Structure 1
Amino acid sequence: MNPSFLNPLQSLRPAPVLLPLLSRAQMSSSSRIPSPPDNGVVLGCGAVSVDFLATVAAFPKPDDKIRSVSLKVEGGGNTGNALTCAARLGLKPRVISKVADDTQGKSMLEELEADGVDTSFMVVGKEGNSPFTYVIVDNQTKTRTCIHTPGNPPMVPEELTHANLSSALDGAKLVYFDGRLWETALVVAQEANRRKISMLIDAERPREGLDDLLNLATYVVCSEKFPQTWTNAPSTPSALISMLLRLPNLKFVIVTLGEKGCIMFERSTDEASGQEEVEVESLLESLKTSIDESSLLPVCISSKSSLRISANGIGAVSGRLLLGKAEVIPPSELVDTTGAGDAFIGAVLYAICAGMSPEKMLPFASQVAAAGCRALGARSGLPKRTDPRLAPYWL
């Protein structure tokens, strides 16, 4: 190993969140759970829908006829799921989206409101249909296949009045976009930017208008394939460097890797002269060798801060790299991965509002996402802040 590369390794450190879980009796004491953040208002703009979830013994082959093992109907959509998660953790979410004045639309609004999401800024169309999704969950692989039917007619910016937009943003600490309803989302983002409100973008895949949203983003959470697809970089770590160079307003970018955990690049607020420079691929490999793979609970490890981290042929950014290990879910407990990414984002929204350090935020978000994977559907397994599994993160 190159001796000049040793310094970054000397500061690798696991996140201090692996504390013993408290019993339910201990958790009954309100003193164990801190109050939610004082400014916990988040606004989300994007997809809400109804999910029709059917579990099957194995995914069917073409022209097969099979029977479902179980069936559940519940709310879905990236924004609906992420805000539901944030509400259960203690935030005060508001949502901008559109449903029709039909049975499905009414059930969506009722479900969101029951979880504490403010739906007063939703548009309810007099005609058409509300969005819905068929979700087929494979009982063998625990994977899911989604068939989405968009709402019709689609939402247009003119349906969001200036008064409603202004009220929705009043007092908001953070605005979240999932990349849907992009024309309306861009109107919301531009006003949020004018008010200097931070924004988090879910970059699941390239979509129309997404680049305009990313240019205004403060934080980005990406799917595994997005960074390389968007930047054409040769690897995920180098793609993160490219994203931060192309989007100078970003404070951090996270790429989620499913059961493999996540990678985060946090930009440094200062660039001191003579900063040590390391190559991102080598730095990531060092993080992988230093993380505790024996832990069943999520853990996080980071490089030291204020490094100059480079990618060959792309450039360099000052900051630090963090690697999060996902919770290991026993096969007997893994039910459905639908909405796991939305749960992760909902927890990140909470962590930002609560001022959590990245070392605590990544394991916290992983823990919340893993809880959601233990039940059928995107919302059934989402934990509330009183859940004993979250106790270590409140200390």
Structure 2
Amino acid sequence: MMSSTSLPPSPEQCLVVGFGGICLDDLAVLPALPVPGDTTHCRSVEVQGIGEAANALTCLARLGVRARLISKIADDIPGKRILAELTAEGVDTSFLVVAKDGQTPSSFVMVDQSTRARSSIFTPAFLVMEPADISQMNLKSALEGARFVYFDARHTDTAIVIAQEAAGQNMPILLHAEKKRPELVDLLQLSDYAVCSAEFPQAWTDAPSMPSALISMLLEFPKLKFATVTLGEHGCLMLERSSDAENSLMGEEDADSLLHSLEQKKDDRVATPMCIPSEVVKLKANGIGTLTGRLFVCTAERIPPSELVDTTVAGDAFIGAILYALCMNMTPENMLPFAATVAAAACKGSGARTGLPYRTDPCLAPYLDEPAIL
């Protein structure tokens, strides 16, 4: 229930711990990608850290939430640059493992300024965060005080060790489910929230439609409170679990039909993100089962072509904003447009982090004064 007198928690009171891979990008913006034998001149060159968890935590830090990263770098120049950049952003790096040998992963990225097409040359470092690395740190200390724990599904064996500790301490877990891999089943079983790529739900479940795939996921993983699917310029879709007791006398509603009816309510004249929620209903997916819950459709911000620079970090910014919204007890109706707005802001800068907004950004003002739920 919404209270008009309650105030949201202060962001500084919240700590999110993230675990995942990390990399350093050399980003060159070119008038056009060169063809073999040609020479072209850079319009700009930037060196930026990248990595899904590191990007999401940087987003959180800019929004005022305390963020801590568990990852692994080498004791080399790219590793030191990554460490310095994260520290400057306010991300707690005290639990980064620094290998004395090896090489920090890096990429050389070329961006076509006119088409925004990207070509990358990735230098893998085979620098994998192993469970043995975790045994060398005090994992309880690394997780101490965490309001949420986030995994980008990299280094899965080690992620499971951390997730088991977090779950044992009743710390809610959010997982980014991007590609179907059998080893993700253990992380999904431990997760309270999932943010999925557009391909993941149906690839994981073999369901014939997105709504039926989300129902299948929430039935397979009873700990999941919601699963959200990012759809790029088409916005996002979310299924939130509700208590069966809330609608014990309600009839069933076909999930695909419900999604169609929600999508009919979109207003293409509105450039800002809008969330269209269903009522709590018993959702039916033929051949899969039923689930009591709410379905949400949220549009993306319509970014003018002149302002659209780079969509690289949109997904990570979206996840960072979802984690912020969870920390601040936002309703889904507020959380999803907020996350879409943060993702859109990130697309207006080049590279992984330039466009990530700060809490003081005027575009976020409509969302940050909402009261918390008691």
Indicate the SS of the match to 1:106. helix
CA displacement 1:298-347 (0-9 Å, x = unmatched)? 11110012x00111211111001000000000000000111110000000
The offset of 1:213, in angstroms, is 0.6
Matched, 1:186 2:160: yes
**In the alignment, what sits opposite 1:281?**
256
Structure with greater contact order relative to length (CA < 8 Å, sep ≥ 6): 1
Unaligned 5+ runs, structure 1: 1-32
Indicate the SS of the match to 2:258. helix
The offset of 1:114, in angstroms, is 0.9
Q: Distance in 1 between matches of 2:162 and 2:174?
A: 13
**In the alignment, what sits opposite 1:117?**
91
Indicate the SS of the match to 1:254. strand
Does structure 1 retain, via aligned residues, the 8 Å contact 2:12–2:66?
Answer: no
The letter for the 2-side match of 1:359 is: E
> What does residue range 345-356 of structure 1 map to in structure 2 within 5 Å?
345-356=319-330
**In the alignment, what sits opposite 2:111?**
137
Kindly tell me: are residues 144 and 274 of structure 1, through their superposed partners in 2, closer, same or farther at Cα, counting changes over 3 Å? Answer: farther
Indicate the SS of the match to 1:160. helix
Does structure 2 retain, via aligned residues, the 8 Å contact 1:143–1:336?
Answer: no
Over the aligned positions, Cα root-mean-square deviation in angstroms equals 1.8
**In the alignment, what sits opposite 1:390?**
364
Task: Say which is worse superposed, 242-251 or 36-45, in terms of deviation.
Answer: 36-45
> What does residue range 93-172 of structure 1 map to in structure 2 within 5 Å?
93-161=67-135, 163-172=137-146
Q: Distance in 2 between matches of 1:73 and 1:236?
A: 38
Indicate the SS of the match to 2:185. helix
Does structure 2 retain, via aligned residues, the 8 Å contact 1:144–1:337?
Answer: no
The letter for the 2-side match of 1:75 is: G
**In the alignment, what sits opposite 1:28?**
none
The offset of 1:142, in angstroms, is 2.7
**In the alignment, what sits opposite 1:17?**
none
Q: Distance in 2 between matches of 1:283 and 1:190?
A: 36
Does structure 1 retain, via aligned residues, the 8 Å contact 2:18–2:57?
Answer: yes
Q: Distance in 1 between matches of 2:243 and 2:50?
A: 37
The offset of 1:183, in angstroms, is 1.3
Q: Distance in 1 between matches of 2:325 and 2:13?
A: 12
Indicate the SS of the match to 1:320. strand
TM-score by length of 2: 0.92
The offset of 1:130, in angstroms, is 0.5
The offset of 1:208, in angstroms, is 5.8
**In the alignment, what sits opposite 2:344?**
370
The offset of 1:162, in angstroms, is 6.3
**In the alignment, what sits opposite 2:273?**
298
Indicate the SS of the match to 2:336. helix
**In the alignment, which of 285, 291, 303 is matched to residue 329 of structure 1?**
303
CA displacement 1:192-228 (0-9 Å, x = unmatched)? 1111110000011124622211111100001111111
Number of residue pairs matched by the alignment: 361
Kindly tell me: are residues 268 and 205 of structure 1, through their superposed partners in 2, closer, same or farther at Cα, counting changes over 3 Å? Answer: same
**In the alignment, what sits opposite 2:288?**
314
The offset of 1:35, in angstroms, is 6.6
Kindly tell me: are residues 166 and 287 of structure 1, through their superposed partners in 2, closer, same or farther at Cα, counting changes over 3 Å? Answer: same
Runs of 4+ in 1 over 6 A off after TM superposition: none
Indicate the SS of the match to 2:110. strand
The offset of 1:131, in angstroms, is 1.5
Q: Distance in 2 between matches of 1:316 and 1:35?
A: 35
**In the alignment, which of 21, 30, 42 is matched to residue 16 of structure 2?**
42
Q: Distance in 1 between matches of 2:279 and 2:119?
A: 40
Matched, 1:246 2:223: no
Q: Distance in 2 between matches of 1:46 and 1:150?
A: 15
Does structure 2 retain, via aligned residues, the 8 Å contact 1:238–1:281?
Answer: yes
Indicate the SS of the match to 1:344. helix
Matched, 1:218 2:195: no
Q: Distance in 2 between matches of 1:298 and 1:52?
A: 32
Unaligned 5+ runs, structure 2: 1-6, 370-374
Indicate the SS of the match to 2:61. helix
Does structure 2 retain, via aligned residues, the 8 Å contact 1:136–1:146?
Answer: yes
Does structure 2 retain, via aligned residues, the 8 Å contact 1:49–1:80?
Answer: no
**In the alignment, what sits opposite 1:16?**
none
Does structure 1 retain, via aligned residues, the 8 Å contact 2:278–2:296?
Answer: yes
Kindly tell me: are residues 290 and 204 of structure 1, through their superposed partners in 2, closer, same or farther at Cα, counting changes over 3 Å? Answer: same
Does structure 2 retain, via aligned residues, the 8 Å contact 1:198–1:217?
Answer: yes
Indicate the SS of the match to 1:292. coil
TM-score by length of 1: 0.87
Q: Distance in 1 between matches of 2:325 and 2:37?
A: 45
CA displacement 1:57-103 (0-9 Å, x = unmatched)? 44556x46453443211110101100000111111111110000001
The letter for the 1-side match of 2:161 is: V
Indicate the SS of the match to 1:215. helix
CA displacement 1:270-320 (0-9 Å, x = unmatched)? 433222311111111111111222111111110012x00111211111001
Percent of aligned pairs with the same amino acid: 53
